[in-house]
Chains A and B, each alone.
Chain A
C-alpha cells in the first residue's frame, strides 16, 4: 500500500481530533480502573489491630502473644537472625518508628521494645509485586498468602517496608517441635508472614495473639472491625492519640500504636 502526503495528513488530523475529543473523559476512565488516590469507599468488615505499647511495656519481657502466634501457626524457632521466621516479634522503638526518633527523644524510649507484625496495609506493596498473586488482599482487609502459589521469588520481602516477611531457607517441618495439626507448616522456598489468624476469623474467634494478651491480663492488644463505628477498636482510635509505622509511605497500615 502506498500512502501519499495528502492521505497521511488526513489520517493524522482525524486521529488528533479523536484524541482531543476523548481528553475530557480520560481522567474518569483512569479513576474507574483504580489508582493510588484516596482510600477506596469501605463496605463490610475491615479488620485492624491496636497495640497499646504502654501496657505491653508494663509486662517487661513477656512473649506470651508471640509465643501463642508461633505455636498455633507452627512457626519454627531458628536462632540465626538471617534465617529466622517471624510473624510477631519485638523491635526497638528506634527501628519500629525511625522517623519519630531524634536528638531530643525522651530518655530510654529509643531502645524500648515494640511489638511489630504485618501491618495489613490498605495499599500493600507486597501484593502489588507478587507475580503469582500468592499474596493477596481479602475484602475484609486481611493480607494473606496462598502458600500453594508462592514460588519463593522474594519480591514481596523486598517490597515490604516493615520487614514483616520471612523466607524459608530450609524445610521448617523438622524444626517445629510441637506441631499443631490444625494448621499446615510451610515448605522450603516459600515466604510467610502474619495472616491476622484468617483461619480463626473464619470460626469467629479472635487472633491468637489477642487471646493470649487477654489471658495474661495485659490486654495490650485489641482487635476489631474498623468499619463498625461502635466497635471497641474504632472507639479507642477516636479517643486516643495513635500512630502508625512509616505513614509517609502511603501504605496505610492497619496496625495502630498507642504510645
Chain B
C-alpha cells in the first residue's frame, strides 16, 4: 500500500473526529449519573408517574385553558382544585381550594426543572417570560 503512514493516520483522525461526541460525553461526566430532582414540599396535581411522562402536555393544556379559554381552575382526579399558575403566586384565589402553583412546591428551577432538562438536552422557553421564584435568574 502506498503512503500507508498517511492513510492510517488519516483513518485514525477520521474515526476520532466522528466518535468525538461519544468519548467527549464519557470524559465530561459519569455516564451512570441520573438527574436527582429536588423533593417537592406538597402534593402534586397529578401522580408522579403522570407528571414525569406528561407534564409538558399538562402545561400546554394549562396555558391554553388560562390564556385562551379563561379557565383558571384545574381539578385533580381526586377532586382537589388548583389555581392554574406556573409562577410563584402565594395568594388564595376564589374557587381554588389548593391555591399553590407549580413553583410554590418546586421552589428551585435549577434543582428541579433544569436538572432533568439539561440531562436530556431540551430547552423549553417557559422562563424567557415567566418569572422564576426568588427574582431573576
The residues of A with any CB-CB pair to B shorter than 8 Å are 74, 136, 138, 140, 144, 146-148, 173-174, 179-187, 198, 202-204
| Contact status of A186 and B129, CB under 8 A, knowing A148-B67, A198-B70 | yes
Task: Given A181-B133, A185-B129, output 8 extra A-B contacts at Cβ < 8 Å.
Answer: A138-B70, A181-B87, A181-B88, A181-B131, A184-B87, A184-B129, A187-B128, A203-B72
Kindly list chain A residues whose C-beta atoms are within 8 Å of the C-beta of B129.
147, 173, 184-187
Kindly list chain B residues whose C-beta atoms are within 8 Å of the C-beta of A185.
129, 131
Kindly list chain A residues whose C-beta atoms are within 8 Å of the C-beta of B135.
179, 181
| Cross-chain contact of A179 among B63, B66, B91, B136 (Cβ < 8 A) | B136
A174-B89 Cα distance, complex, nearest whole Å = 21
A185-B91 Cα distance, complex, nearest whole Å = 19
Kindly list chain B residues whose C-beta atoms are within 8 Å of the C-beta of A173.
128-129, 136
A140-B69 Cα distance, complex, nearest whole Å = 11
Kindly list chain B residues whose C-beta atoms are within 8 Å of the C-beta of A74.
131
| Contact status of A203 and B94, CB under 8 A, knowing A146-B68, A181-B87 | yes
A144-B93 Cα distance, complex, nearest whole Å = 21
| Contact status of A179 and B68, CB under 8 A, knowing A148-B63, A203-B94 | no
A202-B70 Cα distance, complex, nearest whole Å = 7
The residue in chain B whose Cβ has the minimal distance to the Cβ of A203 is B93
Q: Is B111 an interface residue (CB 8 A)?
A: no
Kindly list chain B residues whose C-beta atoms are within 8 Å of the C-beta of A182.
85, 87-89, 91
| Shortest CB distance A206–B (Å) | 14
Q: Is B80 an interface residue (CB 8 A)?
A: no
A46-B118 Cα distance, complex, nearest whole Å = 46
| Shortest CB distance A144–B (Å) | 8
Task: Kindly count the residue-residue contacts between A and B in the assembled complex, taking CB atoms under 8 Å apart.
Answer: 50
The residue in chain B whose Cβ has the minimal distance to the Cβ of A136 is B68
- Most chain A CB within a 10 A radius of its CB, from B72, B87, B131, B135: B131
Kindly list chain A residues whose C-beta atoms are within 8 Å of the C-beta of B70.
138, 140, 198, 202
The residue in chain A whose Cβ has the minimal distance to the Cβ of B63 is A148
| Shortest CB distance B68–A (Å) | 6
A161-B10 Cα distance, complex, nearest whole Å = 67
A167-B136 Cα distance, complex, nearest whole Å = 22
Kindly list chain A residues whose C-beta atoms are within 8 Å of the C-beta of B72.
202-203
Q: Is B117 an interface residue (CB 8 A)?
A: no
Kindly list chain A residues whose C-beta atoms are within 8 Å of the C-beta of B128.
173, 187
A182-B102 Cα distance, complex, nearest whole Å = 12
Kindly list chain A residues whose C-beta atoms are within 8 Å of the C-beta of B93.
203
| Contact status of A184 and B68, CB under 8 A, knowing A148-B63, A173-B136, A203-B94 | no
Kindly list chain A residues whose C-beta atoms are within 8 Å of the C-beta of B136.
173-174, 179
- Interface 1/0s, chain B 46-87, versus A by CB < 8 A? 000000000000000001001110101000000000000101
A138-B89 Cα distance, complex, nearest whole Å = 24
A32-B63 Cα distance, complex, nearest whole Å = 32
The contact sample of 5 A-B pairs, CB cut-off 8 A, is A173-B129, A182-B87, A184-B87, A185-B131, A186-B129
| Shortest CB distance A197–B (Å) | 13
Which A-B residue pairs are the 10 nearest by beta carbons? Answer: A184-B129, A184-B130, A181-B131, A187-B128, A202-B72, A146-B67, A181-B88, A182-B89, A187-B129, A179-B131
Kindly list chain A residues whose C-beta atoms are within 8 Å of the C-beta of B130.
184
